[in-house]
Amino acid sequence: MEPPPIEEAALAPVSVFWDIKSFPVPDGYDARLVGPCIKRNLRKLGYTGPITITAVGVLSEVPRDILKAVYSTGISLKEVIKSPTNMYALFLESSLLRTPPPANMMVISRPPSYIPRHFSSIRDKDREKGRYTIFPFPFGEMPLTLAISLWEDFLLADPVALEEEKCSEMGDPASWFCAVCHHFAAPDLVTGRDLIVSSRISILDNMHNW
């Protein structure tokens, strides 16, 4: 990953969009470590602003134990009608109004949905507007070996205690949003987190016949 290019980026909020279907947690890894380890690595690089992580995908195709695990650590869930083909565009559509510049954006996905074509010119224009892109791999190159090493770096290099760890620091708890029917499920402030996850998934069961 890249360190902040300037101080403005170092202080700005970081929004992470994770394509949970095409870039899944590998077998044998604890999904609860994904959020805390992404956060820890960003901090090490010098990003000091609040960090929000959203898992995006056709959630019915993701194992429920994985969904429960990542949600329990503060990662928000976003249901889409089909696997994203342009994660960057989906990210901008979801984040422009919520996080005004200066802001950092990071997309974790696989080609061809990783970034759009001719992204270099788009990136330069975004920087002029105060929107900075963090790449988890070298820009323009992401072979399978790099994808595997990313999870190894995140999940093995610096394991952290899960207690007290939060992936969402923007002032709101993790949330669940369905882009299929535009249903937003705000977190229940009373119900325990495990039950929250179960109820959200039950809602998807009923709406989309999982």
pLDDT on residue 128: 87
pLDDT on residue 26: 80
Answer whether residue 26 is part of any domain: yes
Answer whether residue 1 is part of any domain: no
Answer whether residue 56 is part of any domain: yes
Cβ atoms 167, 174 nearer than 8 A: yes
Geometric angle at alpha carbon 71, from 66 and 76, rounded to 5°? 120
Q: How many CB atoms lie within 10 A of CB 189?
A: 7
Answer whether residue 146 is part of any domain: yes
Q: How many CB atoms lie within 10 A of CB 159?
A: 12
> What is the pLDDT confidence band of residue 192, given thresholds at 50, 70 and 90?
very low
pTM of this structure = 0.75
CA 125 to chain centre: 23
Answer whether residue 48 is part of any domain: yes
Give how many domains the chain has, as a whole number. 1
Answer whether residue 53 is part of any domain: yes
Beta bridge partners of 16: 53, 106
> What is the pLDDT confidence band of residue 93, given thresholds at 50, 70 and 90?
low
Among 113, 158, 117, residue whose Cα is nearest residue 23: 113
Answer whether residue 2 is part of any domain: no
State percent of the chain over pLDDT 70: 52
pLDDT on residue 37: 85
Record the tokens describing residue 181, joined without a space.
Answer: 């029917």
> What is the pLDDT confidence band of residue 126, given thresholds at 50, 70 and 90?
confident
CA atoms within 13 A on the CB side of 105: 27
C-alpha 135/C-alpha 157 separation (Å) is 19
Answer whether residue 13 is part of any domain: yes
Among 59, 64, 74, residue whose Cα is nearest residue 20: 59
pLDDT on residue 51: 94
- Supply φ then ψ for residue 125, to 5 degrees: -65, -40
201 versus 82: the higher-pLDDT residue is: 82
What range defines the domain where residue 77 resides? Answer: 7-208
Residue 165 has pLDDT above 60, yes or no: no
Mean residue pLDDT of the chain comes to 72
The most confident of the ranges 9-13, 40-44, 141-145 is 9-13
pLDDT digits (tens, 9 = 90+) for 58-78: 888 999 999 999 998 899 998
